[in-house]
Structure 1
Amino acid sequence: MKALVWERTGLEGLVLREVPVPEVPPGWVRIRVKAAALNHRDLYFVEGRMPVEPGTVLGSDGAGVVDAVGNGVTTVRAGDEVLVNPSLGWPKRSDAPPKGFRILGVPDNGTFAEYVVVPAENAVPKPAHLTWEEAGALPLSALTAYRALFTRARVQPGETVVIPGIGGAVALFALQMAKAAGARVLVTSRSAEKRQRALALGADAAFDTESDWPQAVKEATDGRGADVVVETVGGVTFDKSLASLRPGGRLITFAAGYGSHAMLDLRRFFYGQYTLLGTTMGSGEEFAEMVAFVERHGIRPVVDSAYPLERARAAFDKLLASRQFGKLVLWIGE
């Protein structure tokens, strides 16, 4: 089968080559991948920021058709159209992932191949309203956004949610989900085009990230501030995110792509009675809830562009330059 494998650090180390079709262990299923999607996690491996063994197939997001099932599998059948839940070894909702939790695509071979094998419980029925491109773009980012908003931050209808750095996939899912849940959503971006596209998706206001947007948030909330900030950027926006919160507000963070360290004014933090929440990915239980939420509200992933697997380097180039608005998808199967 064709697969995109990591051989060495740098984009030139991504190699498309033939590798054996994986065997199906008992309790697992093999999926013929129709579409997969890039995440910043894949870029970190390519850049050498996270360890990976040469010859590993990258890719965490994907959707396709079940090709074969292992012994003992009764929940899925060959021919089923499924999403790949990339959260391995985390079946039930919990405060933090259990020991042994890992994400598909390092150390396990991932979805940037014609076939992938996963535990049967990680093959979840594909929502009928999604195209294959959209289905391949859904799993990792939508799961991350869902747990951040509803399990950790407990966003309620009528609350104001701020999302700095709109344009990334998790941020866009957070926008769509928060609006579907009845929240008011304010976003920021340096790009005027991204701000306009976010407004078209339902954002209630969009501010220039280079401006004094915490003050703009206060003005938009009658001086009160936001109930929740979904911090998808990293250290460079952390201080402004905190400054935009109301007293007693919640800041949820899961990103460090633009700085993994932030200065925290402890006096301001404890006088403000703020809550700081960390999160990443989610459980199988939350994945099922997320898919049901997406179906119930008719949410469609925002797909920036799609490339054949042979042109994966172009997709990585675009992700590296942060030129995308939404997911970058790889077409793999017919």
Structure 2
Amino acid sequence: MKVVYLPGPKSPLEIREIQDPQPGADQILIAIHYAGLNHRDLWMKLGQYGGKKEDLVLGSDGSGIVKEVGSAVDKKWIGKKVFVHAAQDWGPDKNAQGKQFTILGNPRQGTFAEYLAIEAQYVYEIPAYLDLKNAAAIPLAGVTAFRALFTRARLKPGQKVLIRGVGAGTALFALQFAIAENCAVYVTSGQDHKIDQAIALGAKGGVNYKNENWSTTLQEMAGQFDVIVDSAAGSEFGKLIELCNPGGTIVNFGGTAGAITNITAQRIYWKQLNILGTTMGNNEDFQNMLGFLERKKLEPIIDKVFPMSHAEDAFKRMEKSEQFGKILLEIKS
């Protein structure tokens, strides 16, 4: 089969032929049609991610059609349209992943391949209202946003929400989910056109975080927030504390802006704030996310689809932060 192969950090991606996988007893073999690109894949390509560094077939998101099943799997799966949940071996504690936790695409083969053999417990039938392309955009970003908002921040209808850094897949799912929950949602971005696109999707407003005094402008526009979703951290994290309502929640799942500095502890405890970390989601989170999607009939925002042979261009688009929505690879045309 053909795969998008990463020889090592900062190396050009290659299209290689490797042996087709065979499903184990508890596995399903999927003919992948579309795969979703995540920042995790980019960080591995740039050598900025832990774990295995060389000889990788990346990709955590994928959709396709079941070709074969292992001996312990019901044959009814054959021919079904499915997608995969990338968070594996979460462990018994719903509150946090265990030491055995792994994410599809490193170290084991990911979805940037014509075929994927994966345990049946991580395979889900695609809701009837979604096609294979839309489905591939959902898993990792969707479950991360869902867990951040509902499992961790315990979002309630009518609350005021800030999404920091809108444009990438997870932030856009958070935007869509919060709007669907009848919340008043505001955004920040470093690009004005992305703010305009978020408003077109239903955001109440937004500010460009590259502007001086952006947090003051935002507070004058919207007041303070009940829930803030953050994936950047960095030196301006303290401004989120000032933007949060007393008793409010900041939930973080990334650190693209670097280490958190300039935090005044007194502001956290005096405002009775909840500052929470989150990453990915367990199988229950994934199932709850699917139920939410089906009830609300939400579709992901897809930025651009690249042929498998142009994977390098897809990575460059993400590295330049040009996308608004999910970047996909078409594996099987």
Deviation at 1:235, TM superposition (A): 1.2
**Which residue does the alignment assign to 1:173?**
173
1:1-334 to structure 2, matched below 5 A, reads 1-12=1-12, 14-50=13-49, 51-74=51-74, 77-90=77-90, 94-211=94-211, 212-221=213-222, 223=223, 225-334=224-333
Q: Report if the CA contact (8 A) 2:92-2:98 is conserved.
A: no
Distance 1:208 1:74 in 2: 51
**Against the structure 1 CA distance between its residues 84 and 8, is the aligned structure 2 distance closer, same or farther, given a 3 Å change threshold?**
same
Q: Letter of the aligned partner of 2:16 in structure 1?
A: R
Give the TM-score, by structure 1 length: 0.95
Distance 2:208 2:251 in 1: 21
Deviation at 1:317, TM superposition (A): 0.4
Deviation at 1:27, TM superposition (A): 0.6
Q: Report if the CA contact (8 A) 1:64-1:82 is conserved.
A: yes
Distance 1:325 1:172 in 2: 8
Q: Report if the CA contact (8 A) 1:93-1:285 is conserved.
A: no
Give the share of equivalent positions with the same residue, in percent: 38
Alignment RMSD (CA, Å):
1.6
Distance 1:17 1:72 in 2: 31
Greater CA deviation, 85-94 or 160-169?
85-94
Matched residue SS, 2:112: coil
Q: Report if the CA contact (8 A) 1:253-1:279 is conserved.
A: yes
Distance 1:159 1:276 in 2: 17
Q: Report if the CA contact (8 A) 2:35-2:112 is conserved.
A: yes
**Against the structure 1 CA distance between its residues 265 and 293, is the aligned structure 2 distance closer, same or farther, given a 3 Å change threshold?**
same
Distance 2:210 2:41 in 1: 28
Deviation at 1:218, TM superposition (A): 3.0
Structure 1 residues without counterparts, runs of 5 or longer: none
Q: Letter of the aligned partner of 1:293 in structure 2?
A: F
Matched residue SS, 1:203: coil
**Against the structure 1 CA distance between its residues 262 and 124, is the aligned structure 2 distance closer, same or farther, given a 3 Å change threshold?**
farther
The count of aligned residue pairs is 331
Distance 1:179 1:189 in 2: 18
Distance 1:66 1:331 in 2: 17
Deviation at 1:280, TM superposition (A): 0.1
Q: Report if the CA contact (8 A) 1:81-1:126 is conserved.
A: yes
Distance 2:194 2:284 in 1: 33
Q: Letter of the aligned partner of 2:105 in structure 1?
A: G
Matched residue SS, 2:300: coil
CA shift digits 1:293-326 (9 cap, x unpaired): 1111111111110000000000000111111111
CA shift digits 1:206-235 (9 cap, x unpaired): 1121343433443344x4x10010002231
Greater CA deviation, 120-129 or 166-175?
120-129
Q: Letter of the aligned partner of 1:129 in structure 2?
A: Y
